[in-house]
Structure 1
Amino acid sequence: MKLVGIDIAKYEHAAFIMEASTGESLCDPFFFKNNKEGFKKLYTELNKYSKNELLIGMEDTGHYNFAIESSLLAEGYKVALINPITTKSLRKASLKSVKSDKEDALLITKALLDKAYYRIISIQDEKLKEAKELTRYRTQLTLEMNRKKNVLQRHIDIVFPEFNTLFNNEYTITYLNILRKYSDAYTIAHTDIRSLRKCFKYCNSFSAEELKELASNSVGIHDVSISFIIQSVISSIDLINSQIEELDKKIEELAITQASSITSIPGISIITGTSILAELGDISKYSNAGKVIKFAGVNPYISESGKFSADKTAITKKGSKYLRTTLYRVIIPVIRHNPAFNNYYHLKRNQGKGHLCALGHCVRKLLRIIYHLETNNLSFDINSLK
């Protein structure tokens, strides 16, 4: 087996080729640019060997490796990704004080000697990459939306602290309509009642007259700059909402092509189901459900020394943070809508487990079920868990 280590950079990559059985260097470390000519240079070296005797590894660097990774998979090469934390640990273990692209290419090549250090990726992983990009961007937009809402609430508390008491649910059509046009208590109090009524839509909990009276007696201050910020933030919220709606359409279109049964599990939507599958990648590369749990970073640490064994440990939190975020977000509706999970959650609570610990047990149970469904092309059956 010939091992090829590629150190990924933005404009120029470094590569090294080694014979796995002897550790012999088959070429000097070389550079190739992240463009068409650079790729040709790499393939010139790779073509000296048959594809089935090559294993090509690189760090999972986020996005700089996408182009070369896609190209190699399309050409039929066996490609492996290595966690950058692994190479960092190997560098420390080797006691090397020098860090260069050529040295890193050599280090990545040596990491391919141990199967525990890397994971093989496939064409299926490439197909899921588009879904991963969309679902991750949706998560980022959701977080940005939450930040904007926090900013909005802070400024509402300054100019009209009583405003939220009128609403059972915030961010309704009427809620946003009022703030778009009249962003503080002073403006509302001095606005004609007929103009205020135009903001009301599907709102039966209070009237324009009640809003005006509340604003007239408000302790909020009149500040033009804060009113401007409120209207600006609402414009941002509107934009993010429209972007999320468009993203959801794209994600749903991709989900149709995947033909997965994950949404047959009560509590999992098309969006969250697609996000979970996209982060896991090609499910066939996991030999058992335990590998899936480990990849998600929701397996508990094992802390043992001599006769000591810790009763309580945290989860490892390795792997994709987006996957863990989605799993812990989706497990609540899964427990709520699925009697089997609801019973399992309360079983763990009755055993003395804390809330988060019980959720962790449910997340691992969910991953085992997802693995079983996806590998056997089955739909969820509540009766099978009784």
Structure 2
Amino acid sequence: MYHVGIDISKFKHNCFIATDAGVKVKEFIFDNNKSGFIELKDSLNCLGKPSQIKIGFESTGHYGINLKSYLSNLGYTYVELNAYLTHMFSKALSLRKTKTDKVDAKVISSMLGSVDYETLHTKFYHMNDLKELVRQRNVYLNSRSKELIKLTNLLDKTFPEFKPFFKNRLGVSALFILKRFKTKARISKLSSSDYELIRSKTKGRITYPKFNGLKQIAKDSIGISSKVYDLLIQTSIHQYEYLTQILKLLDDEIIALFKKTNSKLLTIPGLGIITAATIYAEVGDFKNFSNPAKLVAFAGFDVRIVQSGTQEHYGKLVKHGSSLLRNAIWTYALPAVRFIPTVNDYYHKKKSQGKHHKVILSHICRKLIRMIYYIEYHNVSFDHSMSR
């Protein structure tokens, strides 16, 4: 058996090949291009069959995507090792503070002898599209949220009464009025024909008394009048609508891709398809995790434990691993309380014991992860007995 450690970087990759006894076979650098990949393939071919080779990478974002795809198509398997774990493993091997690409490749090769290779194997290629989509969706979703915050700050200066009038929500009706009539001066002079337009566009949500109330707060507004702020409000609205259109396109594609999988996550009550797709994409192959506790740790819901002698203390959540997976599980926790009776009973039981709301939800998240793990690992549909 041969252990191949590859340290990935943007333009070149360091490779260290050793036997399972740790004897060095070959060490070289290859470029992140076609000729470099062929050089790696030739070196691997000299070692024997793919089943006799273990390949390890450090998890380094998108720089290794093409190489992973290339190796998968050739029939090789590989593992991705947590960068923090390789760092600690390196420190355990030597007291010297030396970190180079050459050293990292050797450390990764050495680590392959101490990990469960089959358990950690990642089938990357077929999951990449869905993972890219859910991560980009999260980026655009955060950008849209920031745009709403920016719009709120601008309204606080020019028309502070506007958002409270709409119960502090800048929904479809509020944004339409701002976009169509632009300034509080124009809103204060709305006519009967303007009311008909607003009533039609908002599907009757703006009644005539509410329409008159909007005109009145515009007349009495204490906000400053500024053409610059009015312009910035319009640009912020256009940006918000643009991001909404992008999110709609991404959602449609995510849903289409997720429906092609054999996931059973949608059998879980109250779990939306976008949240389910996010969980599925971030975890990837559930068989990467030999037990649910490892998935709990990957989602960042592990609790810090400090033990010394007879004392044992439990601290805050560690929050390592995938933040997007953690957010998806946390988002689903409240719907789970509503839709799954045993989770609802658990929540109220802990609440009666004086537990804090967020502490209870963190416990529920761990229960949900174990349930999700069982469903996907065994490819079975949800059953209420699983949530006990």
TM-score bucket of the superposed structures, by smaller chain? over 0.9
Q: What's the offset of the Cα at 1:265?
A: 1.2
**AA in 1 matched with 2:356:** G
What aligned pairs does 1:42-57 form with structure 2 within 5 A after superposition?
42-50=40-48, 51-57=50-56
What aligned pairs does 1:112-151 form with structure 2 within 5 A after superposition?
112-115=112-115, 120-123=120-123, 125-151=124-150
Q: What's the offset of the Cα at 1:317?
A: 1.3
Partner of 1:71: 70
Partner of 1:33: 31
Q: What's the offset of the Cα at 1:34?
A: 0.9
When normalised by structure 1's length, the TM-score is 0.92
Deviations 1:315-344 (A, max 9, x none): 221211111111111111111222211111
Q: What's the offset of the Cα at 1:170?
A: 2.4
Query: Partners in 1 of 2:24 and 2:279 — Cα distance?
Result: 40
Q: What's the offset of the Cα at 1:119?
A: 6.4
- Structure 1 residues 119 and 80, CA gap change in structure 2 (3 angstroms): farther
What aligned pairs does 1:1-386 form with structure 2 within 5 A after superposition?
1-21=1-21, 23-27=22-26, 29-50=27-48, 51-93=50-92, 94-115=94-115, 120-123=120-123, 125-168=124-167, 170-190=169-189, 194-195=193-194, 197-200=196-199, 201-202=202-203, 203-205=205-207, 206-310=209-313, 312-382=314-384, 385=387
Query: Partners in 1 of 2:218 and 2:246 — Cα distance?
Result: 33
**AA in 1 matched with 2:174:** Y
Q: What's the offset of the Cα at 1:236?
A: 0.9
When normalised by structure 2's length, the TM-score is 0.92
- Structure 1 residues 119 and 97, CA gap change in structure 2 (3 angstroms): farther
Q: Structure 2: any 5+ residue segments left out of the alignment?
A: none
Deviations 1:33-75 (A, max 9, x none): 1111110000111111121111111111110011101111121
* Equivalent residues, number: 382
- Structure 1 residues 227 and 193, CA gap change in structure 2 (3 angstroms): farther
Deviations 1:188-213 (A, max 9, x none): 22555534653442223444433222
- The answer to whether the Cα contact below 8 Å between 1:262 and 1:370 also exists between their aligned partners in 2 is yes
- Structure 1 residues 317 and 384, CA gap change in structure 2 (3 angstroms): closer
Query: Partners in 2 of 1:118 and 1:11 — Cα distance?
Result: 29
SS in 2 for 1:77: coil
Q: What's the offset of the Cα at 1:11?
A: 1.1
SS in 2 for 1:26: strand
Q: What's the offset of the Cα at 1:139?
A: 1.4
242-251 vs 83-92, which moves further:
83-92
Deviations 1:16-35 (A, max 9, x none): 101121x11101x2111111
- Structure 1 residues 150 and 169, CA gap change in structure 2 (3 angstroms): closer
Q: What's the offset of the Cα at 1:261?
A: 1.6
- The answer to whether the Cα contact below 8 Å between 2:14 and 2:30 also exists between their aligned partners in 1 is yes
- Structure 1 residues 83 and 372, CA gap change in structure 2 (3 angstroms): same
- The answer to whether the Cα contact below 8 Å between 2:120 and 2:289 also exists between their aligned partners in 1 is no
**Amino-acid identity (%):** 33
Q: What's the offset of the Cα at 1:167?
A: 1.9
- Structure 1 residues 322 and 384, CA gap change in structure 2 (3 angstroms): closer
- The answer to whether the Cα contact below 8 Å between 2:2 and 2:18 also exists between their aligned partners in 1 is yes
- The answer to whether the Cα contact below 8 Å between 2:4 and 2:15 also exists between their aligned partners in 1 is yes
SS in 2 for 1:298: coil
- Structure 1 residues 86 and 383, CA gap change in structure 2 (3 angstroms): closer
- The answer to whether the Cα contact below 8 Å between 1:262 and 1:374 also exists between their aligned partners in 2 is yes
Deviations 1:241-268 (A, max 9, x none): 1111111111111111112221111121
Q: What's the offset of the Cα at 1:233?
A: 0.8
SS in 1 for 2:380: coil
Query: Partners in 2 of 1:285 and 1:225 — Cα distance?
Result: 54
- Structure 1 residues 70 and 191, CA gap change in structure 2 (3 angstroms): same
Q: What's the offset of the Cα at 1:88?
A: 2.4
The root-mean-square deviation of aligned C-alpha atoms, in Å, is: 2.1
